[in-house]
Structures are given as C-alpha cells and as structure tokens.
Amino acid sequence: MNRYRAVVKIAECGGFTKAARELGYTQSAVSQMVQSLEEELDTVLFVRSKKGVTLTPDGAELMPYIKNICHAYRELMEKRSEIEGIQNVSIRIGTFASVSCHWLPGLMKGFKEQYPSVSFQLYQGDYTAIEELVKEGSVDFGFINPQAVTDQELKTIPLKKDPMLAVLPINHPLAAKDNIPIEELAQEPFILLEEGSMNEPMEYFQQHGIKPNIQYIVHDDYTIMAMIEKGLGVGILSDLILNRVDYKNAIRNMEPPLSRTIGVVFKDQRILPAASRHFLDYLTDAYKELE
C-alpha cells in the first residue's frame, strides 16, 4: 500500500524529495517504491525534468485507479477502527473559506471534546472542486450550495440560508443608502468571486436581466474585501464571510434581497466512515434549519 501512497504524494507534491519528506521516508526509499510499482504495472509513471516531476500519459491514465486503491484501503482501515470504536481516525472535509473560518473551528472543538483522538483534514476549493473531491473519494463530504451539484447520484443536505450583501468602499455614494438597488450596483466596477459550477451573484443578475460591469474576477473573498477597501470596485459577498473582518468597507442589503443555501454533499451517508457519519450528524444538529 505504501507504493500507491508514494505515487499519489509525488503527483501532489511535484517531486520525490518533498513527497519523501512528507511521508517520512528517504528519497531513495520512495524511488524504490515507484520503481517496484512501475515494474509490476510494466510502465513508467513519472518523467523527471529540470522543472520537476510530471506524470507520463500512462501515469495520468492510471492515477484515478491508484487513488481509488488508496481511498479503499483507508476506508477498510477506518471500518476496522469503527468496529473498535471511533478513535485515531481522520475526518476529511471539502470546504470554502466562509465555512472553514466561521463554522468549522467551533464544530471541530466541540466534537473533539467527545472524541479527542479524531483528527481533521480540510480541503479548500470552490463548488466544482468540492464536488469533484467528493466524487473521487478524496473527502468524506463537502460543504456546497446544493443547487451547484451536477452529479445526480450525489446526496445533499441543505443546512441554512446565508444572506448575500453588497460591499462597497466606505465613502462610495451608494453607501449612503440602506438598501442598494441591483440596477445601481451593476453599473459600478464589479469584483466577482469565482465559485465554480454556480455563481450566486451572476445568477441574481441574470434573473433580473442585468449585466454587471465586471472588472475583476477573484478566487478569494478576503482579496475582494481588500480591493474594495482600496476603492477598486464593489462586490457581493456572503454574510457569513463578512463576520469578524477588519476591512473598512460599507456593507448594505441588496434590493431585491439575495441569499445562498449552504449545505453538505456526500456519496452515501450509510457507508461513510463512522467518525465522519457522527460528525455529519453533529453538524446537522447544530446548523440544519432547512428541509
């Protein structure tokens, strides 16, 4: 099994040296593992160059199967741990910034008080990346807007509504209003948050037949807040991410109002590892407001 883990880690790290360091092996040992697997598969998995290590065409084609072996082995070990009780297992969660900053720390703390030996691995991404992580088995479940899920075989649980608010420079003329009409906001230089398969602000504009004046597309909420503070434009961000921030921006309601649904996505709750299943129940007890 170590050979498969080594191949996946090398692909993730882009090099043998870093992969060996993260796995706790010597570079020579990792090279031998890869060579052994290559001989078994009768192919070459990696090509080395001055720019680093990349997968060969055969390696890229085999990688999903190698990952599946790693995930299946992990599930086997966790099932064994489940028989012995929830201990020394890791819960893997796909998430985005607002949830990982404002929900997960408190949830993880409370859960670890009940199960101290459980650990967590958080994988950041947009809606598209999180759905893909769930599908390939890299995470046990992920946070997402359920309406963004494209694979009908995946299961979702909506948790709660999160208002979306207009964010403007503090001295912007529109900041004098309590509610910002969508038509007026759309005329300003707009900074769009890239969210993957679904973008709530863009759907909001399209529903009202309005084309915003998009000047920037950004992948990070906090970068948008910093850009708005410097007067580069306006944006629409979730109420959850706007909590406890130090940026000096004006935050106003939208007219008409806009909100997004935050939920979780997973393959099948019945076959989740025990720790992840218990944590998902713990999460839904804390936040589930929607049917």
CATH for the stretch 1-84:
1.10.10.10
The model's confidence at residue 74, banded by pLDDT at 50, 70 and 90, is: confident
Q: Does residue 260 have a pLDDT over 90?
A: yes
C-alpha separations of 261 from 10, 232, 238, 250, 280 in Å = 37, 28, 10, 23, 17
C-alpha 37 chain-centroid distance:
31
pTM (global) more than 0.75 = no
Cα angle 19, 24, 30; round to 5: 50
Tokens of 289: 């407001």
Whether 154 and 265 have beta carbons less than 8 Å apart is answered as yes
Q: How many CA atoms lie within 13 A of 46 on its CB side?
A: 25
Calculated CA dihedral for residues 263, 266, 272, 274, nearest 10 degrees? -20
The model's confidence at residue 87, banded by pLDDT at 50, 70 and 90, is: low
Closest CA to 136 of 19, 10, 267: 267
Query: Which residue type is seen at 212?
Result: P
Q: Which of 50-54, 101-105, 287-291 has the highest mean pLDDT?
A: 101-105
The model's confidence at residue 285, banded by pLDDT at 50, 70 and 90, is: confident
C-alpha separations of 71 from 14, 64, 214, 271 in Å = 20, 10, 41, 13
Q: Within a 10 A sphere around the Cβ of 135, how many other Cβ atoms?
A: 16
Cα angle 277, 282, 287; round to 5: 125
Q: What does the alpha-carbon distance between residue 30 and residue 248 come to, in Å, rounded to a whole number? A: 50
CATH for the stretch 161-260:
3.40.190.290
Q: What does the alpha-carbon distance between residue 290 and residue 287 come to, in Å, rounded to a whole number? A: 9
The model's confidence at residue 49, banded by pLDDT at 50, 70 and 90, is: confident
Domain ranges of the chain: 1-84, 161-260
Q: What does the alpha-carbon distance between residue 149 and residue 152 come to, in Å, rounded to a whole number? A: 7
Whether 173 and 184 have beta carbons less than 8 Å apart is answered as no
Q: How many CA atoms lie within 13 A of 16 on its CB side?
A: 17
Residue 21: left if φ>0, alpha if ψ -120 to 50, beta else—which one? alpha
Closest CA to 267 of 151, 175, 163, 125: 151
Q: Does residue 83 have a pLDDT over 70?
A: no
Phi and psi, residue 15, nearest 5°: -175, 155
Q: Which pLDDT tens digit goes with each residue over 193-220?
A: 988 778 899 999 999 999 999 999 998 8
Q: What is the pLDDT of residue 259?
A: 94
